[in-house]
Amino acid sequence: MSGDHGHKDSQVDSGSRVNDSHKHKDKHKDKERKHKDHKKDKEREKSKCSNSEYKDFSEKKHKDKVKHKDGSLERHKEKDKHKDKEKRREEKSKSSSVDGKPKKEKENGFASPPRIKSEPDSDDFYHSPKHEKSLKRERDDDDYELKPKKIKTENEKKAKKRKQEEDEDEDIKPRKKTKDKKGGEGDAKKKAKKEPEEKWKWWEEERYTDGSKWKFLEHKGPVFAPPYEPLPSNIKFYYDGKPVKLSTPAEEVATFFAKMLDHEYTTKDIFRKNFFKDWKKEMTSEEKSKITDLNKCNFAEMSEYFQAQSEARKQMSKEEKQKIKEENERVLQEYGFCVMDNHKERIGNFRIEPPGLFRGRGDHPKMGMLKRRIRPEDIIINCSKDSKHPKPPPGTKWKEVRHDNKVTWLVSWTENIQGSIKYIMLNPSSRIKGEKDWQKYETARRLKKCVDRIRAQYRDDWKSKEMRIRQRAVALYFIDKLALRAGNEKEEGETADTVGCCSLRVEHIKLYPELDGQEFVVEFDFPGKDSIRYYNKIPVEKRVFKNLQLFLENKQPEDDLFDRLNTSILNKHLQELMDGLTAKVFRTYNASITLQQQLKELTSPEENIPAKILSYNRANRAVAILCNHQRAPPKTFEKSMQNLQTKIDAKKDQLSEARRELKSAKADAKVQKDEKTKKAVETKKKAVQRIEEQLMKLEVQATDREENKQIALGTSKLNYLDPRISVAWCKKWNVPIEKIYNKTQREKFAWAIDMADEDFEF
DNA sequence: GGTCGCACTTAGAAGTGATCCA
DNA sequence: TGGATCACTTCTAAGTGCGACC
């Protein structure tokens, strides 16, 4: 079968990974040293491959890497770069307009021009007075894969829904007496009553095919961070043992540090250095001359004050808490929704990020820098011309109001740490996100149809005369087999040193002709996204192994493993193999196909619902391991395991006691032979059975928790697993969908829940 | 053809609040 | 009833990949 690519052997069972925030030597890197052997290398390759295509690429790479050599220029360059970016953005905004000719957009299978249809009014809609015309769109008939299923009649649908609810009830009834956890089915039923009956089924409608994302967009703009509230006068900051009254801007930045005092960050040298540098920029000249050493600063009183405040918040009365809740709800109702093409849609993040200290992951060179406060003057608003534009706070103005319907964001601003753009976008349950998600899984399903051909091709390419093709083929093999990320090149000194497949360096792999009884083993050990360690030992095919040996020849540890390859070359090649194919599609495909296979393998028809859910979680876990989705073990992990073990021990004692009682009851019954003692035996028997079941449950829970210690299931569930596989599985085995997806997840995957039947095949 | 900016997805951590249990 | 625990939500960093531009 196309989907089977040995994942189970290579990673699913790989128990050797460790979650370890990767500590990185500051090896990275003297660029000249890094490439000092390239000339030699190139000559070697020339003689081996008699290939001319490869030769310029490494030179180019070399040139690029040298260009930021002078660290002293970085800040100026950064400033200039930001200015440059801003300028370009401004120019772009001038030229970008909904009225302009739409640029060609490649949308897999989205190909026909839109046509506005009339749509009946509904409570779900939220009309703008300026926008009365309806915006239903037309679908292309050729669009087979993404074609929504035939719309059922209302009666059919209701009957089916009722039937489903009845079926679910059957499952739910016996467990109703037991715990009714949040997100559990009982709860879900209660909540379902509150949810509006009819949700907008965007997946049954036509899609835009001209590259536009919307025709009408209206929103209230962002919610800004609350202004800084100065500390009470009795809370002091001390320098060198003496109290120092700070100016308000300096005090505000000091509080950012004080709030993080308990965090490991504040012990890190880079963090402290960056913080102090940026803090000084906020100080008055007098403060600057007085406060010269961070080690002499004492933030303890501030820190205690914030801790006390946090404690006080926890201790607030019910009424006070309720008041805050209501206020939050009011803000949500006002700012948390927008109107996009006649539908009220939830916004994902409508609050502007508050100022604070930058928390980069891993050994981030910029950690501790001051994330400045974002003001209305930094904000670009995106909405439609004919909408009611959001108003800036009194006395301020927006940087710009733009009407670009080729993008999905509502608000954007440029952050000051990396100079990148931040956005306010819609919630995952929105049409715009859902369509994209659906499309992603359809692309992955198309890969399924041609993956055998692609695999045959890259295996063939392992023998190519051209080094660049061999490298491409080996890299693709890793991306496919190990679900590695593409590995874009990164600007040095700007971010933590992390890599993906194409950016692997020699130091990240070790080759073993034989290891633990296996031939041709490759050991990977590198910091991946978010500086999460990827550690894996896998046996590979001989030809891959030989190729890797060749790639490593005459290279230094800090040299690129694939020096003839980058993500752009790889993706260009993939695009030729299949329309819309990129490196990340392999991750989606392999994750989804693994889930489907594992579910088939692990689900036993005779199992009860909890056992089936355990099987589902195990299948999900197999994918999480494949994708290396790790988490730091919860701080309370050891303790909670200990508590669970105590419970298990107590339950075991209880079981022994119950068994003893049963034995003695049996003995009594033997002697007395009356109804009363017989009944007592039955009661004791039942008690033993019940305790045995409880014990088993606790033991399963312990196993599950232990297996999940360092594995995060959520990421794969939300981003890589085609939800239709899970929905079909639930329908097939009568498992309530609420057991697999919580409310938010059900909203995100509403399209899949509605359209997938039990016989859906990825 | 390469570089860079932009738009968007993917990611783990932190924060919050509901539920459990002594 | 209140503290502990855990599921869920929010936050925002860190990736990918496309396309404009030089």
pLDDT of residue A687: 83
Instruction: Dump pLDDT digits (tens) for A217-232.
Output: 999 999 999 999 999 9
Least confident of A235-239, A615-619, A694-698: A694-698
pLDDT of residue A672: 87
Nearest to A413 by CA among A635, A222, A142, A597: A222
pLDDT of residue A631: 86
pLDDT of residue A12: 34
Q: pLDDT grade, residue A22 (50/70/90)? A: very low
Compute the mean pLDDT over every residue in chain A, rounded to the nearest whole number: 78
Q: How far is the CA of A427 from the C1' of B9 (A)?
A: 13
pLDDT of residue A89: 52
pLDDT of residue A608: 86
Q: Are A541 and A458 in contact (CB under 8 A)?
A: no
The nucleotide lying nearest A588 (C-alpha to C1') is: B10
Q: What residue has token string 């980069």?
A: A360
Q: How far is the CA of A196 from the C1' of C7 (A)?
A: 24
Nearest protein residue by Cα to C1' of nucleotide C7 = A182
More confident residue, A481 or A637: A481
- Residue A21 β-bridge partners: A532
pLDDT, average across residues A597-624: 92
Nearest protein residue by Cα to C1' of nucleotide B19 = A181
Q: Are A552 and A473 in contact (CB under 8 A)?
A: no
The nucleotide lying nearest A103 (C-alpha to C1') is: C19
Q: How far is the CA of A744 from the C1' of C9 (A)?
A: 9
| H-helix or E-strand spanning residue A146 | none
The nucleotide lying nearest A180 (C-alpha to C1') is: B19
Nearest protein residue by Cα to C1' of nucleotide C21 = A88
Rounded CA gap, A455 and A706, in Å? 36
Q: pLDDT grade, residue A90 (50/70/90)? A: low
Cα-based angle A594, A596, A598 (whole degrees, multiple of 5): 65
pLDDT of residue A184: 33
Question: What backbone torsions phi and psi does residue A553 show, to the nearest 5 degrees?
Answer: -55, 130
Choosing from A265, A441, A616, A720, the catalytic residue is: A720
Nucleotides on chain C that have an atom closer than 7 A to a protein CB are 4-21
| H-helix or E-strand spanning residue A337 | strand A337-340
pTM for this model (two decimals): 0.78
Amino acid identity of A122?
S
Q: How far is the CA of A266 from the C1' of B13 (A)?
A: 16
The nucleotide lying nearest A582 (C-alpha to C1') is: C17
Please indicate whether residue A458 is annotated as part of the active site. Answer: no
Nearest protein residue by Cα to C1' of nucleotide B18 = A182
Q: Give the number of residues written for chain A.
A: 762
pLDDT of residue A493: 86
Q: How far is the CA of A42 from the C1' of C22 (A)?
A: 28
Question: What backbone torsions phi and psi does residue A297 show, to the nearest 5 degrees?
Answer: -85, 135
A27 has a pLDDT exceeding 70: no
Instruction: Dump pLDDT digits (tens) for A561-587.
Output: 999 999 999 999 999 999 999 999 999
Q: How far is the CA of A407 from the C1' of B18 (A)?
A: 38
More confident residue, A614 or A26: A614
Nearest to A720 by CA among A534, A592, A586: A592
Q: How many CA atoms lie within 13 A of A652 on its CB side?
A: 7
A753 has a pLDDT exceeding 70: yes
Instruction: Dump pLDDT digits (tens) for A246-300.
Output: 999 999 999 999 999 989 999 999 999 999 999 999 999 999 999 999 999 999 9
Alpha helix locations (H) across A198-317?
Answer: 248-259, 269-282, 285-290, 300-314
Rounded CA gap, A448 and A456, in Å? 14
Rounded CA gap, A567 and A178, in Å? 52
Question: What backbone torsions phi and psi does residue A454 show, to the nearest 5 degrees?
Answer: -65, -40
Nearest protein residue by Cα to C1' of nucleotide B8 = A408
Q: How far is the CA of A636 from the C1' of C2 (A)?
A: 19
Question: Strand, helix or coil at A22?
Answer: coil
Rounded CA gap, A540 and A484, in Å? 15
Cα-based angle A434, A439, A444 (whole degrees, multiple of 5): 130
Q: Could you tell me where the beta strands, DSSP code E, fall in A198-265?
A: 217-218, 237-239, 242-244
Instruction: Dump pLDDT digits (tens) for A618-648.
Output: 999 999 999 999 988 877 777 777 777 777 7
For chain A, what percentages of helix, strand and coil (3-state, to nearest 5) are there? 50, 10, 40
Burial A77-105 (b: 16+ CB within 10 A, else e): eeeeeeeeeeeebeeebeebeeeeeeeee
Q: pLDDT grade, residue A314 (50/70/90)? A: confident
Nucleotides on chain B that have an atom closer than 7 A to a protein CB are 2-14, 17-22
pLDDT of residue A639: 73
The nucleotide lying nearest A359 (C-alpha to C1') is: C13
The encoded tokens of residue A215 equal 């025709």
The nucleotide lying nearest A82 (C-alpha to C1') is: B5
Question: Strand, helix or coil at A85?
Answer: helix
Question: What backbone torsions phi and psi does residue A59 show, to the nearest 5 degrees?
Answer: -60, -45
Q: Are A378 and A399 in contact (CB under 8 A)?
A: yes
Cα-based angle A737, A740, A746 (whole degrees, multiple of 5): 65
Q: Are A410 and A338 in contact (CB under 8 A)?
A: yes
Q: Are A392 and A398 in contact (CB under 8 A)?
A: yes
Rounded CA gap, A726 and A615, in Å? 12
The encoded tokens of residue A294 equal 């961070």
pLDDT, average across residues A131-146: 36
Instruction: Dump pLDDT digits (tens) for A650-673.
Output: 778 888 888 898 999 999 888 888
Nearest protein residue by Cα to C1' of nucleotide B4 = A85
Q: How far is the CA of A328 from the C1' of B18 (A)?
A: 18
